[in-house]
Amino acid sequence: MDELSPTDVRETSIDRTLSAALDALTISRVSPGPDAEATPPAEDPDLAHLPPLPHSPEKSRTSASPSVAQPSKARVALFSAPACSLHTYIRTSNSSTIVERPQRLRAVAVGLACALARLEEVLSDPPSSVDGPSKSTVSAPDFVQLVAPETYSDIDIRTHAATAYVHNTLADLEDERTSDSAEKVYIERLYDLVGTCVEKVSVKQSEIPPEWPQGDLYLSPGSMAAFQSSIATVCAAADTVASPLSMGPKRAFASVRPPGHHCSSAQPSGFCFLNNVAIAAVHAHLNHSITHVAILDIDLHHGNGTQAIAWAINAETNKQAESEDLPGPDTKPGLQIYYGSIHDILSYPCETGDRSLTQAASICIHGAHGQHIENIHLEPYTSDVDFWGRLYPQKYSQLLKKADDFFERTGADPEKSLIFVSCGFDACSHELASMSRHKRNVPPTFYGRFAADAQCLAEKRTKGKAVTVLEGGYGDRALQSGAMAYLVGMLMSPEEVMQREHWWSVDELVKVGIFLEFFS
């Protein structure tokens, strides 16, 4: 590749949109977070007696829906959550080995901004204006809606019904809490731990309880603000897509951290403290009468937490369905979830070969006992021809086929159905070597093709409704290329994606790096 000068970079097509889009997607302003040491509010009587989800007739008390005054021409809503950057590592001043870091959000924003710059050339009408968080006018292509945090409601996760169900009620049903913490619900315990983290670290103690994994969890004074922002953001994305009253796009991408898919009802692990996607799915059920959800997990690692939560919810729904055969009052339909994952069986949480974790990451069950689970293991490939000619059509696309079968088999109403993508970019071939040591990866174009194919499934089964939530991905180049390809896939057909894979080639990523270095 010929050497590029900053002047050459300024003259590329990316420059016309990249700066404005990047400004809008990487807002540094954050709202003040809740006081981590504040006393939790008095117990909400509605939540204290929250029945199992399938029987709950109540709406969530807090809606995070952004206001949309007029029908939007935008096809995709991009949700940013700057407060998620407040979750930081504080045990030492050297965080160079910490891969789950705030800078991940900027890398994703760079990829999204690059996609917007490219897509503007082929999709956009003359640029429109959207209000950014600073109340200034930011130019953005008309096919996207950039959603800033202050346009939707805050959520207090201590009183938010969906969060309470996933992380309190289900923990009770499964008796998942440890004996040491049985007297406190999970969310209250998180508040306490955040409130004492500085004190613990100052005396050389871990801020993480001994019964939780020490190597992949950390807390800081800003963690609770990050957690609440993450939940508010994914719920706002679900509201925008699923609400019958929404005039916004039916496709959304929520850039949040920390990830969530390893967290079960009351057991955090793998960087994850709250299960963002599971909470958003329950939120959509409680607020918008969604009855069928397909969760497509394409992170490198098995989403053991999401699968466990989906299993528990399906079990409750199945129990309700069986009871409906008996005389009694009519009940509202429960939530049914399909969980499908493509992952490396040699990596976390299965890297030690633990029997229960490895079995869980390998199970496939479709309908029996009300369960809908598909697990597909990543394989090495020898070339792009091998990947696209063999692995993707013969193996990986089965994740989508089984989701399609789920909607068909369960008689899902498209009006009441929704797709979530747990989107980790750590399987990307550009990922850090430490994450890719087993060589089970995918080319960056996989993310664009999968996004396009998932959107085709959404058009068929959910009237186009789909929410993508960031999970893993740790190297800048993996995050940038994966996010860029994914957004292109959200807006183009599978065939069009394959024709544009040069957009995220290594040469183009190098140009982006020069641009960022010169103009930052």
- Summarised one tens digit per residue, pLDDT across range 187-218 is 999 999 999 999 999 999 999 999 999 989 99
Which of 99-103, 117-121, 305-309, 407-411 has the weakest average pLDDT? 117-121
If you average pLDDT over residues 255-260, what whole number do you get?
Answer: 98
Contacts of residue 252, Cβ cutoff 8 Å, sequence gap at least 6: 76, 77, 78, 79, 237, 238, 240, 241, 466, 467, 468
The Cα-based distances of 20 to 31, 112, 166, 476 in angstroms read 22, 12, 38, 20
The domains of the chain are located at: 6-28+60-326+333-519
Identify the CATH assignment for 6-28+60-326+333-519 out of 3.40.50.1820, 3.90.226.10, 3.40.800.20, 3.40.50.300.
3.40.800.20
The enclosing H or E element of 372 equals strand 372-377
pLDDT at 34: 35
Contact 63, 153 (CB under 8 A): yes
Higher pLDDT: 89 or 512? It is: 89
pLDDT at 59: 43
| Angle separating helix axes 506-519 and 103-123, nearest 10 degrees | 110
Contact 111, 479 (CB under 8 A): yes
pLDDT category at 27 given cuts 50, 70, 90 is: very low
pLDDT category at 125 given cuts 50, 70, 90 is: low
Of 105, 84, 88, whose CA–CA distance to 218 is shortest? Answer: 88
Q: Which residues pair with 421 in a beta bridge?
A: 296, 468
| SS3 (DSSP) at 137 | strand
pLDDT at 165: 95
**Pairing state between β 137-140 and 128-131:** antiparallel
